[in-house]
Amino acid sequence: MRILMFGPPGSGKGTYASRLSVKLNAPHISTGDLVRDEIKKQTDLGKRISDYSSRGQLVPDKTICELLQKRISQPDCKSGFILDGFPRTIPQAQELEKISSTDLIINLDVPDDVIIERLSTRLTCKSCGAIYNERSLKPRTEGKCDKCHGQLYKREDDQPKVIQERLNVYRNQTQPLLEYYQKTGQIRNVSNKEAGLPPDKVVQEILKIIENES
């Protein structure tokens, strides 16, 4: 199944997508991780896009579409994938249509105060990108990833000013996509109003939706 995880920054797209990936045995493709990987490796592309990411702005459509195309053409994506953070603009959605069909769009609906609380307490693994939270999703050992023992850090774009910019970018450039996708009949809304709701509860709800579709 080809699933799109849709929702504002901090709505849990990455957290739920990585858990769904294990349950459904389908690759989790996070364009944010692809971007951070290029920056970490200091590739030419990484150097060109690091400013956008640290300011909370979108990487140009052409660049992100090239990264996505490269990843999605790998053999492991043939029978399905869970896309997290793509598309974020209408041109990106049009580009995706040229590359692949989609089956289901999970729209995570989360209020701004919950987003701000989550992002400002979020911890990310430097090595594998796994997501934790200082309050609601603590690692077993402080500062260390449960999965790979990598170092946990606060993302540069999880600072209050950048969080606000990312929310603005989401409202102005990404949210209009919901209207665009309405005609497909593929959108399923998952509402998540509590900051500390255990991720597995939400994942169960999403799995039920997927079961009903297949």
Give the active site residues.
13, 88, 122, 155, 166
Q: Indicate the residue among 162 and 203 with the shorter CB distance to ligand ADP.
A: 162
Q: How far is the CB of 212 from ligand ADP (least distance, A)?
A: 26
Q: For the chain, how many helices (H) and strands (E)?
A: 9, 8
93 to 8, 42, 154: CA distances (angstroms)? 16, 28, 30
Using the rule CB under 6 A, is 129 a contact of ligand ADP?
Answer: no
Q: Specify the stretch interacting with ligand ADP by CB under 6 A; choose among 52-60, 101-109, 141-149, 188-196.
A: 52-60
Residue 210 to residue 22: CA distance in whole angstroms:
14
107 - beta bridge partners? 6, 189
Q: Indicate the residue among 26 and 50 with the shorter CB distance to ligand ADP.
A: 50
Residue 83 to residue 147: CA distance in whole angstroms:
21
What is the Cβ-side half-sphere exposure of residue 88, based on CA atoms within 13 angstroms?
29
Residue nearest to ligand ADP (CB): 32
Using the rule CB under 6 A, is 35 a contact of ligand ADP?
Answer: yes
| CA nearest neighbour of 187 among 214, 169, 211, 213 | 213
Q: How far is the CB of 198 from ligand ADP (least distance, A)?
A: 19
Q: Indicate the residue among 55 and 211 with the shorter CB distance to ligand ADP.
A: 55
Residue 41 to residue 143: CA distance in whole angstroms:
23
Per CB under 6 A, the list member of 3, 9, 39, 195 interacting with ligand ADP is: 9
Q: Indicate the residue among 4 and 104 with the shorter CB distance to ligand ADP.
A: 4
Q: Specify the stretch interacting with ligand ADP by CB under 6 A; choose among 28-36, 100-108, 136-144, 182-190.
A: 28-36
| CA nearest neighbour of 133 among 14, 30, 214 | 14
Using the rule CB under 6 A, is 82 a contact of ligand ADP?
Answer: no
- Asked if 10 contacts 190 with a C-beta cutoff of 8 angstroms, the reply is no
For residue 87, say if its preceding peptide bond is cis, omega within 30 degrees of 0. yes
Site string for ligand ADP, 89-128 (x = CB under 6 A): ---x------------------------------------
* Kind of pairing between the strands at 152-153 and 122-125: antiparallel
Considering only residues 138 to 157 of the shown chain, the ones binding ligand ADP according to CB under 6 A are 157
Q: Can you give the binding site for ligand ADP, defined by CB under 6 A?
A: 9-10, 13, 31-32, 35, 52-53, 56-59, 64, 85-86, 88, 92, 157, 166
